[in-house]
Amino acid sequence: MDIHQILKQLPHRYPFLLVDRVLEIDKGKTIKALKNVTINEPFFQGHFPHRPVMPGVLMLEALAQAAALLAFDTLDSSPTDDMVYYFAGIDGARFKRPVEPGDQLILEVELLRMKAGIFKFKARALVAGDLAVEAELTCAMRKIA
């Protein structure tokens, strides 16, 4: 899935779109995507000017965006203007290494279960094969008024 297809599936836009490409997707099971991390990211100006490091919450957000792509693919659907995909929980988040400009963050997400618009995922992100972050994510699809 290239960036044009991702833009059709996710409502996020610059500077908050954190998935550049989907490398693999196994319908209803797993997704493997990537985020190219560059010095041009706006958060590096303040986090931290003397040693740029990608904020952990943004690594988790990138994983959640990959999870959303997996969820929409699993349901054979696309988001609509009256639908929002929310974080509902983050469990067991562990940060194992810093992510710096020039890194390629490989996002791996596995769907554990889904019921009534609630999805539970096992997620991790790697840089050059080294674990950067892992967590269990709970997300919910909800209609908005």
Please, which contacts does 43-52 make with residues 24 or more away whose CB atoms are closer than 8 Å?
43/15, 44/101, 52/100, 52/101
> Of these residues, 4, 12, 47, 50, which one is catalytic?
47
Phi, psi for residue 8 in degrees, rounded to 5: -75, -25
Q: Is cis: bond before 48, omega within 30 of 0?
A: yes
Helices (H), the chain: 3-9, 56-74
Active site residue 47: yes
Q: Which residues contact 118 (CB under 8 A, 6 or more apart)?
A: 88, 138, 139, 140
Task: List the catalytic residues.
Answer: 47
